[in-house]
Amino acid sequence: AITVGVPAEVEGEISTGLCWQQQEDRAMVVPVPAPGRRSLARKDVKITLTHYRVLSAVGGCALLQLQPRTAFPEQLQVHLTQLLCPALGDHEHSSRVGRVLGVPFFLSPETAPTRTQVLDEELVSRLGLSPRQLHHLPLHIHLQELLLP
């Protein structure tokens, strides 16, 4: 994945509960930091795990190797958002990362409506995009290898 932002740690794991949540007229995948035993037993929430490693970082972006250890829809996008480094082109979850004086912080899904990913002008210029082209920017997560037992 190519991310907007560089994780604080060069390598690590992201583990969190994920569930589907209805928000207005659509269902969204949201993190559940401390799921209860009942929600896990009912399978309303699934504990998910992704290992990541920063392969390269330049200009406020990073190339990450991601190894999901569990499978849940949109798991990688949510985990990257929790690292405060959403995937480039993630128009679904990137709005959950806010910035104050350049410092990123996590916003709850309820307070962060889905919108076209916001990128700083310098990055937009380096990508050779106009502001109107941003909503066409594809998600920069690529499957390199799939191993089936």
**Domain for residue 127, yes or no?**
yes
**Domain for residue 142, yes or no?**
no
Which two three-digit tokens encode residue 128? 């050779």
- What strands, in cross-sheet order, belong to the sheet with 11-23? 2-4, 61-68, 46-58, 11-23, 26-32
Q: Reply yes or no on whether the pLDDT at 2 is more than 90.
A: yes
Number of compact structural domains in the chain: 1
Give me the residue label for tokens 């969190």.
16
**Domain for residue 93, yes or no?**
yes
**Domain for residue 10, yes or no?**
yes
Q: How confident is the model at residue 143 (pLDDT cuts 50, 70, 90)?
A: confident
User: In this predicted model, which residue has the larger pLDDT, 99 or 112?
Assistant: 99
Mean pLDDT of 29-35: 87
Which bin fits 25, alpha (ψ -120 to 50), beta or left (φ > 0)? alpha
**Domain for residue 97, yes or no?**
yes
Mean confidence (pLDDT) of the chain: 89
Residue 103's domain comprises: 2-136
